[in-house]
Amino acid sequence: DGGITQSPKYLFRKEGQNVTLSCEQNLNHDAMYWYRQDPGQGLRLIYYSQIVNDFQKGDIAEGYSVSREKKESFPLTVTSAQKNPTAFYLCASRREGRRTGELFFGEGSRLTVL
């Protein structure tokens, strides 16, 4: 079955540490996205990538970094520069060019900074 896999599902980090969240998709989708969700708020876009080896900042990119070396993979690094990293992180993908533009989500990674 095709889908998006995020890991780890839960992660605890000490302040000052970088952490990398994995996102892999086998849907053959061109575009991949990282969102952050805080309680009672909508999803906010961190970074997105429409093709391999290219990515763009979203609305809240500060303190985060990404890479897109393969079509299937779009890892997100939460750096120590991110001031409030505790959140629910969602990776999504979409086959660009489709009229509907539906997003498919992974199950999410819940990061807690101790």
Partner 1 sequence: RKEVEQDPGPFNVPEGATVAFNCTYSNSASQSFFWYRQDCRKEPKLLMSVYSSGNEDGRFTAQLNRASQYISLLIRDSKLSDSATYLCVVNFLLNTGGFKTIFGAGTRLFVKA
When the beta carbons of 11 and 80 are compared against partner 1, the nearer one is 11
When the beta carbons of 61 and 80 are compared against partner 1, the nearer one is 61
When the beta carbons of 52 and 88 are compared against partner 1, the nearer one is 88
Q: Residues 49, 66: contact at Cβ < 8 Å?
A: yes
DSSP 60: T
Minimum Å gap between C-beta 16 and partner 1 is: 27
Q: Residues 91, 103: contact at Cβ < 8 Å?
A: no
When the beta carbons of 22 and 79 are compared against partner 1, the nearer one is 22
Is it true that the peptide bond before 8 is cis, omega within 30 degrees of 0?
A: yes
Query: Would you tell me which residues interact with partner 1 (CB under 8 A)?
Result: 31, 33, 35, 40-43, 45, 50, 88, 90, 94, 96-97, 99-103, 105-108, 110
Minimum Å gap between C-beta 51 and partner 1 is: 10
Q: Which residues contact 15 (CB under 8 A, 6 or more apart)?
A: 80, 113, 114
